[in-house]
Amino acid sequence: MAIARIQLIISGKVQGVAYRFSAKREADQLSLTGWVQNRANGDVEIMAEGHQTQLNQFIKWAQTGPKFADVHGIVIKNLKASNEFKQFNIR
């Protein structure tokens, strides 16, 4: 099964609500690699690689996020996988 890559930009109340920590936990459970980071404008950015089925589950999770998040929007870009990541990290 081929590896795919996605970039997610999540907007709303997504900083200060453990979104990055929760994203890492979810990514680890789905065996995804990549990273999550806060952006200066208040959004959260995620770069993730893995099997498409797991990425789809991760996207579904990201649309809601952790308990105290209030996701207003999510931009999803499908990119070419690079296989450069060994694990999923918080930046």
Q: Which residues are catalytic?
A: 20, 38
Name 9's bridge partners.
45, 75
From 59, 69, 63, select the one nearest 4 (Cα to Cα). Answer: 59
The CA-to-CA distance between both ends of the chain, in Å, stands at 28
